[in-house]
Amino acid sequence: MTKPNRDPNLRWLGFLPAALVAVLVALLGAGTGSAATATAAQTRVGPHTLIAPVLVGPHSGIGAGQRLGNDLPAYDFVLATGVAAKSAGEAADLVRAAKPIGSALKNDAWHRSASFAVDDIAKNGTVFRTVGGDGVSRTLIQTPGQVNGIAGRFEWIVDGEKLTHQMFVRGGTINGIPIKP
């Protein structure tokens, strides 16, 4: 058998696939600062440290109704003058016996810290009656305190047998107004 006679000018076509593979390997093998490249080559895109988180969306204190343009009922505050007010000792027992619901169950340090200060109500607490925009009278208890060296006040709102609010107000004074310092 004889070999077919090939044109010597077309011999370079045999090297074409090998050359294309070599070029592709060279192009795809070189990274641009990705995890596949060596650490020394990460000059364009290197590792970074998060400096501060950027929060997007409404503040956590804004309710869904407010986002829709509806105002939530506002509280009117009335300081009790004697008959309706409980003593600080009774208020401490009231907070201990009340079932936490709603915002009283929030898990951040400013809300949870109030549950550790209930014993301070009997000796330093001040009891107020507050009437909400719904016309319902509730018991507001405030006592001075501090969290992690930050001065302020602890406060609780009891509605019947429910603890609806507890938190530490940074820089807060005893004023009979919930949340406001």
Q: Are 166 and 114 in contact (CB under 8 A)?
A: yes
In a domain, 26, yes or no: yes
Same domain, 115 and 159: yes
Closest by Cα among 100, 108, 112, 175 to 144: 175
Same domain, 82 and 134: yes
Same domain, 83 and 156: yes
Same domain, 31 and 119: no
Same domain, 91 and 161: yes
- In this prediction, residue 146 carries a pLDDT of 94
Same domain, 85 and 165: yes
d(C-alpha 50, C-alpha 37), whole Å: 22
Encoded tokens for 132: 């909400």
* Three-state secondary structure call for residue 121: helix
Domain count, the chain: 2
Residue-level pLDDT, tens digit, the chain, 181 residues: 566 666 666 666 667 777 777 877 777 765 555 554 444 444 444 444 444 444 455 555 555 555 555 554 444 444 433 334 468 888 899 999 999 999 899 999 899 999 899 999 999 999 999 888 888 999 999 999 999 999 999 999 999 899 999 999 999 999 999 998 8
Structural domain boundaries, residue 93: 74-170
Specify the residue for token string 């305190």.
145
pTM score of the predicted model: 0.54
Same domain, 93 and 146: yes
Same domain, 88 and 146: yes
- The torsion angles phi and psi of 59, rounded to 5 degrees, stand at -60, 150
For 128-156, the pLDDT digits (tens) are 998 888 889 999 999 999 999 999 999 99
In a domain, 62, yes or no: no
